[in-house]
């Protein structure tokens, strides 16, 4: 509970940030002088003035800060003033006085702005203010104040665990960020009983419920048993959202709910690619041993729909019969590269010796990323490295294949790690910020937001008036981009997608590299200037629209701040779902900072993460 509380308290601190210019001689001012500054500047006063008043931590400072509140009108500045009362929490006498004052202001001040800001200030005290917050939650007439009061109490409501507590969480919980979602998930999961499950399933099946809440409820119900929950899950297969239907199919497959088999089968005709693929995977999990299904699965492996063949490749792994293995090997030669990637992944999971000569035969049939991927799977199966062309592998197999035994996976992984270290020291492949560029169908997605004007190597934002003559981040990005494009071979398909608040692709689709396209791209890149916000989500969508793209290099120095979606967790969720059937490797380079978001984006999409600090 303490960890959840700290997460929520960190979130409510956000409204107290400001950017006014602070007086330079604050430390020399006494309390009366500081109050005169507040009275003179009113809502233009810098928050540091208010912080300085509270820093005295005396009875007089407490009284002066209360008077300062009366000089302010805007909610942003009131947030700052009320928030400073938390500085008195180390004085037991003043802590309770502060809590009582904030409670009174939140409960009965004549202005709504003061009520909301005082409630936010109260949340900063944590557990000592829980009683006051509970009173606001139970009795306040304004939902906005009740919502503010509820956030730190959500773990406590989860401990209560009743249907009423669950209803309060669902009514007032804030679902905007990953930490908030985790706190809500834990609290909703802690609420238990048939009445609670009935509440969750009814909201899940009500399409007026926001889709992200329906998704969260699905995650909670996935942990529940009982006929009512199963009935709700199977009914949710009729949801209007393909994302929800796909998630339900996943849950039913993971739970081995064979009773839902008939309803799952209906989704074998789904139009949405991710849903179709998952329906086949789920059928494979539920229909094991059914001869009719096995015959149908082999037919799906030859279906004209790409997503159907992808799902079949995954489901074949469940059978593990000789016929299934032979079909999986055949899909290694499928006309669509995404099916070949899916089949390759399942062959790697299967770890069978007869797969080795099939993979050797594919080496000289593939190019770019897929050629490298086949070589990686060969190395992980055999523990050996005979390069990325077929001749040496064929010679080895001809000489030693009959007696060869596959090593344990751990030994093969250890050997691969050692080789990776040696390759980093001796690589001659084209690179982008040190990451190898091996794909022959690649899109570079490059940030041109205002912060890219900061000097390369700096960890701050753009510094206006900086006299340093060194290159800025965007200049270095252009140099790295030019070097990568020089290093790739003629004929490789590539595109560049620049983004700030908007998205500016160089071309509508991939083009082949030659002398003319290289020069045109360099000229286009030279015209890009740093300005605007950071629209990562839309930029990725534009890059992923081209069905030929199999690899993306995303470079950014900031958190998402513009576009259709700016919440990092929601971007991860949506790109992850989209990429289930796109199979694009997304490599991420974070400039000037460590980025958990960029690291997770790379990891969940099979890419590498690099920091350039």
Query: Residue 27: its pLDDT value, please?
Result: 83
- Which residues of the chain form CATH 3.40.50.410? 431-462+469-612
**Distance in angstroms (rounded) separating the CA atoms of residues 507 and 48:** 49
Q: Which residue is it, tokens 């998930």?
A: 185
Token pair of 154, please?
């959500």
Pairing state of beta strands 503-505 and 493-499?
Answer: antiparallel
Query: Using an 8 Å Cβ cutoff, are 590 and 598 in contact?
Result: yes
Largest Cα–Cα distance of the chain, in whole Å? 92
* pTM to 2 decimal places: 0.83
- CA 503 to the chain's CA centroid: 20
The two structure tokens encoding residue 486: 């020089």
What's the pLDDT at 423?
65
Q: Which residue has the tokens 């249907």?
A: 163
The architecture (CATH level 2) of 431-462+469-612 comes to 3-Layer(aba) Sandwich (3.40)
Q: Which of 37, 94, 23, 32 is nearest to 64 (CA)?
A: 32
| Coil vs helix vs strand at 592 | coil
At residue 497, the 3 state secondary structure works out as strand
In sequence order, what are the beta bridge partners of 286? none
Q: Give the CB-side neighbour count of residue 159, counting CA atoms within 13 A.
A: 8
The pLDDT of residue 467: 42
Token match 């009514």: residue? 171
- What the block records as the tokens of 374 is 């086949």
Pairing of the two strands 585-591 and 551-556? parallel
pLDDT along the chain (613 residues), means of 10: 40 40 74 93 93 94 95 95 95 94 96 96 96 96 96 96 96 86 94 95 95 94 92 95 95 93 96 96 91 94 97 94 95 97 96 96 94 95 93 96 94 88 67 92 96 79 49 94 93 96 95 94 93 95 96 94 89 92 96 94 96 86
SS3 category, 125: coil
Radius of gyration of the chain (CA): 29
| Comma-separated ranges of CATH 1.25.40 domains in the chain | 2-158
DSSP code string of 355-411: HHHHHHHHHTT--HHHHHHHHHHHHHHHS----SSHHHHHHHHHHHGGG--PPPHHH
Of the options 3.30.1450, 1.10.1760, 3.40.50, 1.25.40, the CATH number for the domain spanning 2-158: 1.25.40
The token duo for 382 is 């055999």
Structure tokens at 48: 């540091």
Sign of CA dihedral 1, 6, 130, 154: negative
Q: What angle do CA 65, 66, 67 make, to 5 degrees?
A: 90
pLDDT at 186: 95
Residues 6 or more apart from 311 whose CB is under 8 A from it? Answer: 276, 277, 278, 279, 280, 281, 300
């Amino acid at each position: 509970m303490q960890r959840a509380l700290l997460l929520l308290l960190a979130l409510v601190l956000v409204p107290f940030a400001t950017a006014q210019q602070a007086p330079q001689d604050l430390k020399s001012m006494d309390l009366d002088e500081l109050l005169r500054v507040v009275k003179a500047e009113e809502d233009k006063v810098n928050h540091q003035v208010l912080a300085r008043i509270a820093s005295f931590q005396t009875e007089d400072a407490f009284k002066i800060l209360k008077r300062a509140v009366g000089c302010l009108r805007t909610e942003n500045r009131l947030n700052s003033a009320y928030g400073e009362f938390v500085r008195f929490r180390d004085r037991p006498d003043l802590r309770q006085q502060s809590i009582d004052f904030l409670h009174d202001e939140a409960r009965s001040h004549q202005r709504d702005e003061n009520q909301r800001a005082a409630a936010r200030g109260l949340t900063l005290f944590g557990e000592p203010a829980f009683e006051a917050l509970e009173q606001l939650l139970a009795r306040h007439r304004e939902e906005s104040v009740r919502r503010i009061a509820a956030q730190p109490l959500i773990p406590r409501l989860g401990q209560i665990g009743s249907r009423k507590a669950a209803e309060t969480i669902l009514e007032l919980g804030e679902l905007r960020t990953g930490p908030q979602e985790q706190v809500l998930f834990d609290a909703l999961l802690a609420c238990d009983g048939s009445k609670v499950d009935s509440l969750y399933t009814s909201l899940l099946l009500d399409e007026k419920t926001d889709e992200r809440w329906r998704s969260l409820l699905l995650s909670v119900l996935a942990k529940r048993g009982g006929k009512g929950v199963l009935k709700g899950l199977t009914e949710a297969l009729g949801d209007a959202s393909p994302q929800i239907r796909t998630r339900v199919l996943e849950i039913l497959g993971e739970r081995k709910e064979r009773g839902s088999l008939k309803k799952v089968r209906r989704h074998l005709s789904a139009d949405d690619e991710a849903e179709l693929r998952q329906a086949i995977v789920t059928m494979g999990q539920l229909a094991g041993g059914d001869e009719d299904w096995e015959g149908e699965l082999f037919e799906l492996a030859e279906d004209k729909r790409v997503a159907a063949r992808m799902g079949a490749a995954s489901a074949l792994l469940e059978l593990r019969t000789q016929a299934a293995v032979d079909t999986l090997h055949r899909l290694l030669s499928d006309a669509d590269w995404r099916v070949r990637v899916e089949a390759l992944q399942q062959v790697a999971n299967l770890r069978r010796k007869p797969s080795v000569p099939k993979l050797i035969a594919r080496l000289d049939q593939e190019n770019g990323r897929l050629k490298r991927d086949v070589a990686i799977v060969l190395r992980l199966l055999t523990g050996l490295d005979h390069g990325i062309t077929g001749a040496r592998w064929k010679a080895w197999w001809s000489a030693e294949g009959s007696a060869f035994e596959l090593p344990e996976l751990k030994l093969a992984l250890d050997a691969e790690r050692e080789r990776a270290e040696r390759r980093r020291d001796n690589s001659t492949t084209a690179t982008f910020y040190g990451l190898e560029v091996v794909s022959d169908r690649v899109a570079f997605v490059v940030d041109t937001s205002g912060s890219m004007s900061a000097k390369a190597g700096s960890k701050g934002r753009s510094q206006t008036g900086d006299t340093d003559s060194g290159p800025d981040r965007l200049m270095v990005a252009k140099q790295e981009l030019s070097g990568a494009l020089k290093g790739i071979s003629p004929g490789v398909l590539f595109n560049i997608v620049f983004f700030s608040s908007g998205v500016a692709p160089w071309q509508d689709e991939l083009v082949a590299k030659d002398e003319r396209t290289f020069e045109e791209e360099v000229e286009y890149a030279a015209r890009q200037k740093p300005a605007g916000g950071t629209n990562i989500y839309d930029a990725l969508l534009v890059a992923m629209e081209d069905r030929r793209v199999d690899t993306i290099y995303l470079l950014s120095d900031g958190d998402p701040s513009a576009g259709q979606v700016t919440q990092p967790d929601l971007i991860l969720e949506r790109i992850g779902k989209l990429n289930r059937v796109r199979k694009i490797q997304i490599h991420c380079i974070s400039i000037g900072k460590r980025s958990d978001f960029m690291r997770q984006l790379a990891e969940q999409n099979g890419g590498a993460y690099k920091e350039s600090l």
